[in-house]
């Protein structure tokens, strides 16, 4: 690690000696070395661990797909599906609600309001994790302000549930959607709407046949991005619900902390691999969609 840092300096210091052509790639080397150490080794360790089992009696390790099979069964499968369900639902809700909010912002005549909403979205999309969980516990938790004043508990409200978690996730997902979709909405040309109107289309027809088809790649791209965010979320759920809602991130955390049966540690790595595959899939969908929407709305 430390040995790679000074090379940054030598790279720029060596440059003046070779007057014109500085060895440019030399400046990239430290970055690559650190990434290989800090990212590559843990990633390979995870991959390797996901496919190995250690025999408790002999201590010998062997390669197997048993961990992966285990990670797709029983409680682990429940957790994985729970995460997928929660992420898909909250991402879908946030996509729709974010679209409405963004459309209201984009068509607003008040520049100040618009800027305020966009800045607030930037802040709130970053407002994940522990503070968010506590803000909602203070609001809608068992002794939360709203829970007590409105008597929500008798009405059957429970923040520490699937729906409670969905409500909390929307808090950072909707702003994220507003930020993602605003450029696309701004790209919708006024001429398209006028052309549709001149041809006798109603408001609804314009949206159904013109605006939504153009927006579809951006909306889908935004959805998978939101899905990925919700899927990877851990701190909010951990600080809020503990393990009352089955989520794959909570399962992995349990396993890392040693709260599982002996010999099951590598199942956590297999679960991590499952997560990476899902996240990889999300990115594989997102990037082409982003490119396509850029083509339309450039």
Residue ranges in 215-254 that form contacts with other proteins under rule CB under 8 A: 225, 228-236, 238-239, 249, 252-253
**CB 73 → other proteins: shortest distance, Å?**
19
- Position 288 contacts other proteins (CB under 8 A): no
14: β partners: none
The 99-138 site mask, x for binding other proteins (CB under 8 A), equals -xx--x--xxx---x---xxxxxxxxxxxxxxxx-xxxxx
Report the run of H or E that residue 256 belongs to, with start and end.
Answer: helix 248-256
**CB 213 → other proteins: shortest distance, Å?**
22
Spatial separation of the C-alpha atoms in residues 179 and 61, rounded to whole Å: 48
**CB 251 → other proteins: shortest distance, Å?**
10
**CB 23 → other proteins: shortest distance, Å?**
7
**Identity of the residue, 211 or 233, whose beta carbon is nearer to other proteins in the bound complex:** 233
**CB 77 → other proteins: shortest distance, Å?**
17
Residues 142-201 binding other proteins (CB under 8 A) are 143-146, 169-176, 179-180, 182-183
Residues 50-89 binding other proteins (CB under 8 A) are none
**Identity of the residue, 214 or 270, whose beta carbon is nearer to other proteins in the bound complex:** 270
Please tell me what DSSP assigns to residue 217. H
Exactly one of 30, 164, 217, 246 binds other proteins (CB under 8 A); that residue is 30
Record the tokens describing residue 163, joined without a space. Answer: 């729906």
Q: Which stretch binds other proteins (CB under 8 A): 3-11, 70-78, 153-161, 205-213?
A: 3-11
Spatial separation of the C-alpha atoms in residues 176 and 71, rounded to whole Å: 31
Q: Is 169 exposed, middle or buried (0-12, 13-18, 19+ CB in 10 A)?
A: buried
Most distant pair of Cα atoms in the chain: their distance: 80
Spatial separation of the C-alpha atoms in residues 150 and 146, rounded to whole Å: 6
Exactly one of 58, 257, 262, 295 binds other proteins (CB under 8 A); that residue is 257
Exactly one of 211, 269, 289, 293 binds other proteins (CB under 8 A); that residue is 269
**CB 284 → other proteins: shortest distance, Å?**
9
Dihedral class, residue 261 (left if φ above 0, else alpha if ψ from -120 to 50, else beta): beta
Spatial separation of the C-alpha atoms in residues 74 and 246, rounded to whole Å: 12
CB contact at 8 A, 159 and 136: yes
CB neighbour list of residue 150: distance below 8 Å, 6 or more residues apart: none
- The size of the interface with other proteins (CB under 8 A), counted in residues, is 104
């Amino acid at each position: 690690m430390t040995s790679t840092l000074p090379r940054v300096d030598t790279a720029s210091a060596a440059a003046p000696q070779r007057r014109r052509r500085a060895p440019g790639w030399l400046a990239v080397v430290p970055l690559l070395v650190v990434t290989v150490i800090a990212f590559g080794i843990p990633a390979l360790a995870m991959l390797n661990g996901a496919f190995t089992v250690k025999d408790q009696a002999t201590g010998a390790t062997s390669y197997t797909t048993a961990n992966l099979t285990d990670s797709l069964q029983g409680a682990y499968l429940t957790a994985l599906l729970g995460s997928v369900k929660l992420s898909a639902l909250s991402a879908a809700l946030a996509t729709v609600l974010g679209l409405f909010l963004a459309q209201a912002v984009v068509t607003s005549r008040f520049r100040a309001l618009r800027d305020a909403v966009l800045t607030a979205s930037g802040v709130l999309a970053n407002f994940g994790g522990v503070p968010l969980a506590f803000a909602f516990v203070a609001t809608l938790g068992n002794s939360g302000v709203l829970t007590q004043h409105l008597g929500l508990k008798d009405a059957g409200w429970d923040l520490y549930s699937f729906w409670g978690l969905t409500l909390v996730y929307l808090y950072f997902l909707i702003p994220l959607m507003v930020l993602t979709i605003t450029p696309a909405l701004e790209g919708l040309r006024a001429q398209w709407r006028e052309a549709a109107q001149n041809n006798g289309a109603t408001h609804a027809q314009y949206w159904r046949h013109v605006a939504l088809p153009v927006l579809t790649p951006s909306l889908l791209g935004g959805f998978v991005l939101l899905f990925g965010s919700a899927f990877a979320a851990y701190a909010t759920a951990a600080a809020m619900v503990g393990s009352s809602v089955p989520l794959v991130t909570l399962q992995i955390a349990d396993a890392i902390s040693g709260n599982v049966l002996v010999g099951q540690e590598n199942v956590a790595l297999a679960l991590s691999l499952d997560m990476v595959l899902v996240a990889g899939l999300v990115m594989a969908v997102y990037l082409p969609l982003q490119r396509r929407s850029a083509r339309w709305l450039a």
